[in-house]
Amino acid sequence: LLLAQVTLGVIGYTQRDSVAAAAAASAQELIRGYPTLGAPGDPHESWDALQQQLGCCGWTGPQDWEPPGTVACSCLRAPNSTQGRPTALPHGRCPT
């Protein structure tokens, strides 16, 4: 078991650049395919949830979104409602 953990650690360390490149390419593809209007599909809903929970926008920043001046609405912070829960943001893209 220890040998397997060490082996996985070594493989993970030596392959970290290729894993990071694959993750970046996947994120960029999600951003390019993000719908302009309407409810997003399953991978985009996961992306929205990730952006809202981590308070981030895009892979490297808002400049990842095309056309310039728009981002996924999940990039924006929803104002808190009177019950202390965040108000739902619209799906699609919003102006920055």
Chunked mean pLDDT (size 10), the chain, 96 residues? 90 87 88 74 79 84 84 73 54 80
Number of structural domains in the chain: 1
- The pLDDT score that the predictor gives to residue 79 is 53
* pTM, 2 dp: 0.61
- The pLDDT score that the predictor gives to residue 86 is 53
Tokens of 54: 């981590």
73: nearest Cα among 89, 88, 60, 87: 89
Tokens of 3: 């040998």
Which domain, by its residues, includes 15? 1-95
